[in-house]
Structure formats: structure tokens, C-alpha cells
Amino acid sequence: TWTPLPGVSNPVAHPDTNAYLSDPDIILNTDNSLWLYYRSVVNSRNIIKVIQSADGLHWGTPTDVVNVPSHEAVSPAVIRGAPQAPWQMWSVNSGGAGCSAPITTIERRTSADGLNWSAPATVDLAQPGQSIWHFDVQWIPARAEYWALYNTYPAGATCATNALYLARSADGVSWTTYPSPIATAGLTPAFQHIIYRSTFMTNPAATKVKLWDHKS
């Protein structure tokens, strides 16, 4: 059961003219501030923006941190990660075809401050026979590794994603994938037809996982 924070003014972000917003991803920084990254799609561009808040109620002015042609930056996943590791952002590059792309790739950017990001580099995460569409990553301290959760559609289909997979990595670049999804469309009545962008958390020992999924 979710309720708005008392005193919050929703929505916390608004689209520019002729734009739409998607794919929010929020992190708690080491100074206990909240950083909310999201994608703006406007004028055939994918613009990743970030806004910051000290209390979850009052939010600053959005800052553009990535600006690429559509749809080369879908579903950004940002974390601080391992101690002494840089900020990291993973996103899906589906090129101009968007969710009709026959194949997509996962790209990783790094940053020293969460605002200025490196050029993207493709990582080796791929799911045979599937196109990855939305992506989330968490650092799992108890396992000293990154876990990625991502939905897919069959290669050559469209973005009516019907499967959810998990992958693991020690460095965020080289990933171990598994042939079987952890969930598929039809698992519950609420997700009879589609499984969309999902997120998760583990208990401190990383022996139990709780999943949340967005019903599109």
C-alpha cells in the first residue's frame, strides 16, 4: 500500500512541449539525497535527465546528463555500486527502430559525480533469441556482485515483453545469464499479457528477493 509523502507536490517532473517522459530510476546518494533519473523523448532525441531532492518533497531543476538520437538510451539504471566504484548507468540501445528493433544492446556509462557521464560502451549481456527492452541493476553487497533484472520480447517481435530474466556480474561489464526466465506473462492474472520494467530488492544476506513489476 503506497501513499504520497505528506506535503509532496506531484508530479515531481513535467515533460517539455511535445515530449513524453518514461523510465524513472531513483537512487539514495551517500549524502542521503535522492537523485531521480528519467528519460525525455522529444524531437527524435532521448534525453536522460536528473533531478535531486534532500527530503523527497522539494525537487530541484532538471539537468540533462545524456542526449542521444532516439532510441539509443532506453530505461536508464543508475547506481553507486561497489565501494570506490564510479557511478554507473546502464541503458538499452534499440536504435531508431525502438521496440521494433530485431536486436538490442546494453550500454554502460560511468561518472565521477552522477552528472558528467562517459561515452557508452557495450557490455556483453545478451539473451539468446530475445531482445532486451527494459533494465534495472542493483549492487548486492552480500554477494559482492551486480544483479540485473530485464524484460524481453522474442527477437523479431515487438515490445509486448513476455519474459523477465536475471543476470549477475562482478564488474558490471561481463555478465552471466541464464536460459530460463524467472517470470513470464500469465504468471498472475494481473500480468496475463505483459511483463514490463521491473525492480527488486534483497534481504541483507541476499537469500530472499522481492520483485515489483509494472503492468503496462
Mean pLDDT, rounded, for 196-212 = 93
Q: C-alpha angle with apex 114: 197 to 6, nearest 5 degrees?
A: 65
Residue 205 has pLDDT above 70, yes or no: yes
Mean pLDDT, rounded, for 51-55 = 96
**Percent of the chain that is helix, strand, coil (3-state, to 5):** 5, 45, 50
Q: Where are the beta strands (DSSP E) in 8-104?
A: 20-28, 34-42, 45-53, 63-69, 74-79, 87-93
Name 40's bridge partners.
Answer: 21, 47
Confidence of residue 99 (pLDDT cuts 50, 70, 90): confident
Residue 73 has pLDDT above 90, yes or no: yes
Q: Kindly report, residue by residue over 158-177, the tens digit of the pLDDT.
A: 888 999 999 999 999 999 99
Q: Kindly report, residue by residue over 112-126, the tens digit of the pLDDT.
A: 999 999 999 999 999
Residue 59 has pLDDT above 60, yes or no: yes
Q: Picking from 103-117, 118-132, 187-201, which range would have the lowest pLDDT averaged per residue?
A: 187-201
Q: Which residue would you say has higher pLDDT here, 187 or 13?
A: 13
Looking at residue 215, what is its pLDDT? Answer: 62
Residues, the chain, total? 216
Q: pTM for this one?
A: 0.94
Looking at residue 58, what is its pLDDT? Answer: 94
Q: What Cα–Cα distance (Å) separates residue 97 from each residue in 58, 70, 93, 100, 124?
A: 37, 8, 10, 5, 21
- Distance between CA atoms of residues 106 and 145, nearest Å: 18
Looking at residue 140, what is its pLDDT? Answer: 95
Mean pLDDT, rounded, for 71-97 = 92
Looking at residue 22, what is its pLDDT? Answer: 95
